[in-house]
């Protein structure tokens, strides 16, 4: 089963949090994101080649469209 999770990500050198969606597949042995996980995000208007950040908050009050996290970065 695919479950969509929303999280807030902080990028290196930034004080702002950005909301992203993350789809994880329980049938594939994936797990939900946790605070402290490093993630890769897709390109956007600030980071033309994508980038990485750290999950700081689980959930989000933002209700607009969200980009999806590309993947969790292994430790």
Over residues 8-36, mean pLDDT: 92
Range of the domain at 65: 2-72
Over residues 10-28, mean pLDDT: 91
| Total Cβ atoms within 10 A of residue 7 | 25
Chain segment 31-62, per-residue pLDDT in tens: 999 999 999 999 876 667 778 999 999 999 99
Domain count of the chain? 1
Judged by DSSP in three states, 28 sits in helix
Q: What does pTM read for this prediction?
A: 0.88
Chain segment 60-73, per-residue pLDDT in tens: 999 999 999 999 99
Instruction: Give all strands (DSSP E) within the chain, no chain letters.
Output: 2-10, 17-25, 38-41, 51-58, 71-72
């Amino acid at each position: 089963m695919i479950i969509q999770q929303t999280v807030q990500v902080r990028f290196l050198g930034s004080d702002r949090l950005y909301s992203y969606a993350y789809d994880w597949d329980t049938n594939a042995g994936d797990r939900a994101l946790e605070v402290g996980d490093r993630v890769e995000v897709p390109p956007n208007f600030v980071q033309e080649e994508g980038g990485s950040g750290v999950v700081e908050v689980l959930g989000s009050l933002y209700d607009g469209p969200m980009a999806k996290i590309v993947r969790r970065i292994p430790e």
